[in-house]
């Protein structure tokens, strides 16, 4: 199968999805109101609530959600063949991810920019808030651990990329100053910054940066040094106002993403490479996991992802200038991530065979078994991109550094956002504990301190995933990915349940939300049970005594949350039946109306 045929077919379907399906969601399901006063205006504080151009908010949301996951997940899932992976990415993006991201932004905007966990209390019930927040806590902890391990691994394998990655930070701060202080457009400064970053690639090749001297002096592995540096960095950057580093780096990374996609796509067109992998692998090695349900949790981003709802309701909704921007930001970002996932599939099935080190090797020898599929998937993607880049005259060595800079930049941005979101989650959980703890007790005092102290909450947000990332062996990057994927898709299902109840209460048709909700609920519950069995039967003590209990806790929370959501949905249908004349747009605020009016409706 020619790679170009797969690429053009997927892009055509994405274009049709945005043109028609997102328009249906905007008009019939979410009923966007251009006169609604968004939280960015109502609660403007210059730190989190900042009215921002939809293009910059798109860049923030797109780059925050399109981290390493839509690259890593498909790079592993092609083990079963490229056909099932491609089908899930395309259909999941159009009908699940688009509705999920779009809806999470809208519901959060209508509730003062509150997080999806806090919204669960208003939309579903009081108990749902704590349950959802606990699941979010587990999810973001695993996101931060996995992404940090992936970044560390790439920087160790490609020290030539360290300098271009580091240069991005001061450049982004400079762009932020220009855009925010001078009220200038971000396009030109971000393009200039991108040119500087790529001009540093030859310098990085001449001056590769390693932490080996520090590691040798301390008597530790280089990975540990990188993990310390990564988490110290995210501790400080997550405390900065969003306009200072997060937004401008997102905009630079958006240009980087577009350029990366352009290099891949032009390389595919020029090279006319064929996909070497089977569409459906029939000769699976012994001991391979079943495609159902694990395909749908291995591709944890790129089809639909619960992490997106955390970004949508945690940071994106606080920056939205006008409510109709939610369609452009939410749905189009999902399509962009889907395009990245499609490129990852093609890079790992066609481009990787163009890479000189793999020429003459059968694709099945690279994906010889499931363990090999889960080993360094980000590295296989960078090799595939380097292979496509070589089709258009870019030396493989340059293409490899270029792809590494892209992946690390995306993952680092996701880490910044995730740590910021985890801080919110820690503070919200602490506030609930404070309310319920005994008056004057030590628990109440500790919860009060943690809920009010940003530094302490941020410290919790970085220390726990740091410890998780230190577990010996391939634990964090390999086995943990499965549990991360399951929890991520579970969170997506729970976010869809909040959206479905909210839509139903307002007299609109929830079918577009209910279909992906039911599908994800079944697949994630099934996957949690399969993984629990595997963890319990494993001879690895880390799986038996760490992952198995964690899986069980998440499963119990999931079932409890699903019951709460079902009851809330049934009540919503009953209320709508009792009042069939309810105006589907009754929650839309007129110009200047206070946001709290939506919560009273």
DSSP state of 478: I
Kindly state the greatest CA–CA separation across the chain.
Answer: 74
Please report which confidence band the pLDDT of residue 598 belongs to, taking 50, 70 and 90 as the band edges: very low
Query: What torsion do the CA atoms of 415, 340, 150, 47 make, to the nearest 10 degrees?
Result: -10
Residue 15: its H or E element: helix 3-16
Q: Report angle CA 105, 108, 113 to the nearest 5 degrees.
A: 115
The predicted model scores a pTM of: 0.87
Which residues are registered as beta bridge partners of 320?
52
Give start and end residues of each alpha helix (H) in 470-547: 480-505, 511-537, 541-542
| Mean pLDDT of the region 75-79 | 94
42-52: string of b/e by CB count within 10 Å (b at 16+)? beeeeebbbbb
What is the residue whose two structure tokens read 């939280």? 39
Question: Quick one: DSSP state of residue 35?
Answer: T
The per-residue pLDDT for range 321-366, each reduced to its tens digit, is: 999 999 999 999 999 999 999 999 999 999 999 998 888 899 999 9
Query: Looking at residue 538, what is its pLDDT?
Result: 82
What is the tens place of the pLDDT at every residue in 257-306? 889 889 999 999 999 999 999 999 988 998 888 999 999 999 988 899 99
Instruction: Report residue 108's pLDDT band, with 50, 70 and 90 as the boundaries.
Output: very high
My answer on whether omega of the bond before 293 falls inside 30° of 0, hence cis, is yes
pLDDT confidence bin for 474, thresholds 50/70/90: very low
Interval 170-189 mean pLDDT: 84
Please give the average per-residue pLDDT across 402-421, as a whole number: 86
The Cα–Cα gap between 356 and 374 comes to 22
- The mean predicted confidence, pLDDT, of the chain is 87
pLDDT (tens digit per residue) in 14-27: 999 999 999 999 99
Length of the chain: 601
Tell me phi and psi for residue 52, to 5 degrees: -140, 145
Candidates 383, 265, 326, 256; CA nearest to 100 is: 326
- 583 within 8 A of 507, measured Cβ to Cβ: yes
DSSP letters, 527-588, are: HHHHHHHHHHH-S-HHIIIIIHHHHHHHHHHHHHHHHHHHHHHHHHHHHHHH-TT--TTTTP
Q: How far apart are CA 399 and CA 347, in angstroms?
A: 13
How far is Cα 138 from Cα 116, in angstroms, rounded to an integer? 15
Q: Mean pLDDT over residues 374-400, rounded?
A: 93
Dig out the tokens for 11 from the structure: 């892009």
Higher pLDDT, 586 or 225: 225
CB 595 within 8 Å of CB 112:
yes
- The pLDDT value recorded for residue 590 is 33
């Amino acid at each position: 199968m020619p790679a170009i045929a797969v690429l053009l077919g997927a892009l055509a379907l994405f274009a049709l999805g945005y043109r028609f399906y997102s328009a249906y969601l905007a008009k019939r399901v979410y009923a966007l109101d251009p006169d609604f006063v968004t939280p960015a205006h109502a609660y403007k504080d210059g730190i989190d609530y900042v009215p921002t151009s939809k293009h910059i908010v798109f860049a923030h949301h797109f780059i925050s959600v399109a981290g390493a996951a839509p690259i890593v997940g498909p790079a592993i899932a092609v083990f079963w063949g490229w056909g099932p992976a491609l089908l899930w990415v395309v259909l999941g993006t159009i009908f699940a991810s688009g509705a999920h991201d779009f809806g999470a932004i809208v519901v959060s905007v209508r509730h003062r920019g509150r997080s999806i966990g806090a919204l669960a209390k208003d939309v579903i019930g009081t108990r749902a808030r704590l349950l959802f927040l606990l699941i979010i806590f587990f999810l973001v902890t695993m996101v931060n651990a996995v992404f940090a391990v992936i970044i560390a691994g790439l920087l160790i394998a490609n020290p030539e990329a360290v300098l271009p990655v580091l240069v991005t930070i001061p450049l982004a701060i400079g762009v932020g100053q220009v855009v925010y202080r001078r009220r200038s457009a971000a396009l030109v400064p971000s393009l200039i910054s991108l040119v500087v970053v790529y001009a540093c690639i030859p310098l990085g090749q001449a001056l590769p940066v390693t932490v080996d001297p520090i590691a040798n002096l301390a008597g530790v592995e280089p990975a540990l040094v990188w993990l310390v540096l990564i988490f110290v960095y995210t501790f400080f950057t997550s405390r900065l106002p969003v306009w200072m580093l997060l937004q401008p780096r997102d905009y630079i990374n958006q240009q980087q993403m577009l350029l990366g996609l352009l290099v891949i796509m032009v390389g595919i067109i020029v090279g006319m490479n064929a996909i070497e992998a089977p569409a459906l692998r029939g000769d699976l090695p012994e001991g391979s996991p079943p495609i159902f349900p694990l395909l749908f949790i291995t591709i944890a981003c790129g089809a639909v992802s619960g992490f997106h709802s955390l970004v949508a309701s945690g940071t994106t909704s606080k920056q939205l200038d006008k409510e109709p921007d939610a369609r452009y930001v939410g749905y189009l970002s999902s399509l962009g991530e889907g395009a990245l996932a499609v490129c990852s599939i093609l890079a790992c099935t066609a481009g990787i065979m163009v890479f000189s080190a793999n020429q003459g090797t059968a694709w099945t020898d690279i994906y010889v078994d499931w363990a090999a599929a889960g080993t360094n998937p980000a590295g296989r993607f960078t090799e595939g991109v380097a292979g496509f880049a070589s089709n258009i005259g870019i030396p493989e060595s340059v293409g490899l550094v270029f792809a590494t800079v892209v992946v690390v930049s995306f993952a680092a941005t996701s880490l910044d956002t995730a740590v910021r979101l985890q801080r919110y989650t820690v503070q919200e959980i602490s506030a609930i504990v404070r309310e319920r703890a005994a008056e004057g007790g030590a628990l109440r005092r500790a919860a009060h301190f943690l809920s009010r102290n940003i530094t302490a909450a941020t410290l919790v947000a970085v220390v726990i995933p740091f410890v998780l990332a230190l577990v010996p062996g391939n634990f964090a990057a390999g086995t943990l990915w499965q549990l991360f994927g399951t929890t991520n898709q579970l969170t997506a299902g729970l976010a869809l349940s909040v959206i479905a109840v909210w839509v139903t209460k307002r007299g609109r048709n929830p079918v577009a939300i209910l279909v992906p909700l039911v599908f994800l609920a079944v697949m994630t519950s099934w996957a949690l049970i399969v993984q629990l069995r595997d963890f319990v039967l494993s001879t690895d003590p880390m799986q038996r005594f760490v992952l198995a209990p964690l899986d069980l806790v998440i499963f119990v929370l999931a079932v409890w949350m699903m019951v709460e959501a079902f009851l809330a949905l049934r009540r919503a249908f009953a209320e709508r039946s009792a009042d069939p004349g309810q105006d589907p747009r009754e929650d839309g605020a007129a110009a200047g109306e206070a946001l709290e009016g939506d919560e009273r409706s």
